[in-house]
Amino acid sequence: MTSPASVDGLPDYAPIPASARGVTPNEQGYYVGRVERNLYWVTDGVYQAAFLATPDGVVLFDTPPSIGHNLRRAIDEITAAEGVTNRVTHMVYSHHHDDHTGASSIFGSDVVRIGHEETRRLLLRDNNPARPVPDVTFADSYTLEVGGERVELSWRGPNHSPDNIYIHFPDHDTLMFIDVVNAGWVPIYNVNLSEDVPGYMAAPDIVLSFPWTHFICGHLGRLATRDDVLVHQQYIADIEASAREALASVNPVPYYVAGGENFWAGVKGHLDAVTERTAAPVIAKYTGVLAAADIAEFTYSTAFQIMQSLRLDRGPSGPVHP
Ligand SMILES: [Zn+2]
C-alpha cells in the first residue's frame, strides 16, 4: 500500500453541501441511533448497518467490516439501556458484497442467517469464511418474524448486484436498500459499481413504491429521505437525457478518420467525446447540490456506463448498414 507523501496535491474540490453532512461517530468510531421504536442504525460515517432489539433476540441487518466489532458495542450499548437481550439470533444479508457482510463471522455460527438464494450461490462461489452462507433463503419474498416484530424481504430483480434485496420494516416506517442511492452524495464510479444498469436506474421507483419515512441506504452518515431519492433520480435522469443528446450530436466520423487503422483509437476518441459532452452539464448542475458531483471521474464513469447501456441494452447501437 502506498500513500502520498503529502495531500497538498489533492484537487481543490467544492465544499461538501450541508445536506451531505452526517452524524459524528463517538471516540470508538461509531454512532448508533434510533430509527423508530426498537429499530436502530449504526454508522462509522461511511458505512451503515441496522438492528432490531427484540425481547427474543437481536436481528442484525448487514455487517460491514469497517464497522466490525463496533456492531457488538452498539448492540450492547442499546440492549443494556433497553433491558433486552444482546444475543444476536438472526442476521439478514442485503447482498453478498464483502464491504457490507465481511464482519458476519464475528457473530459466530449460532445465528440464523437469511438472504436471497442468489446471495447464497454467490457466497458459495466466493468461499470466504468471514461470510457464512445464509441458512434460510428465498426467491421472491420472505417474512421474518422475531420477538413480535415483522420484516418483509423482497427481491425485485438485479440492480447494483444480482442479489440486492429490499428490506421493509412496515411497523417501523422504514426501508433498507443498499448501494443504489447515496443520501446527499453522487454515486461513486461506474453507477456506484453496479452490474445491471437498467436495473439500477429502475430501482429508485421501486424504493418509492414502498411506504416509508426513514431510508437506510447503506452509506454515509445520515438516514435518507424521500427527497434524497428524488434528487438521486433526477441526477440519473439528467445523465440519461444528456447522454441521448450527446450520442445524437457527436459525429463519430472524424474520430475514426483520425484513428486510421487503429480502430480502437477511433472508438476511444468518439466515446470519450460523448462522455465529456454527457457529463459536463450534469457536473455543473449538481456541484453544490450532491456532494462529490465535481469529482469528475465519478460523474464521467457513471455517464459512460449509462450511455453504453442506452446503446447496448436499449439500442439502437448504431445505424443498420444499407
Ligand atoms: Zn455492494
Gap from CA of 160 to ligand 1 centroid (Å): 7
Between the CA of 100 and the centroid of ligand 1 the distance, in Å, is 7
pLDDT score, position 7: 65
**CA 10/CA 249 separation, integer angstroms:** 34
Query: Ligand 1 centre from 261 Cα, in Å?
Result: 40
**Per-residue model confidence (pLDDT) at position 153:** 98
Q: How far is the CA of 129 from the centre of ligand 1 (A)?
A: 18
Rounded CA-CA distance 45/289 in Å is 19
Contact present, 119 and 142 (Cβ < 8 Å): no
User: From the CB of residue 144, how many other CB atoms can be counted at a distance below 10 Å?
Assistant: 18
**What pLDDT score does 9 carry?**
66
CA 99 to ligand 1 centroid distance, Å: 7
Ligand 1 (ion): residues with CB under 5 Å are: 97, 179
Distance 192 CA to ligand 1 centre (A): 8
Write phi, then psi, for 291 (nearest 5 degrees). -60, 140
- Walking along the chain (322 residues) 10 residues at a time, the average pLDDT comes out as 64 91 97 98 98 98 98 98 98 98 97 98 97 98 98 98 98 98 97 96 98 98 98 98 95 94 96 97 97 95 96 88 92
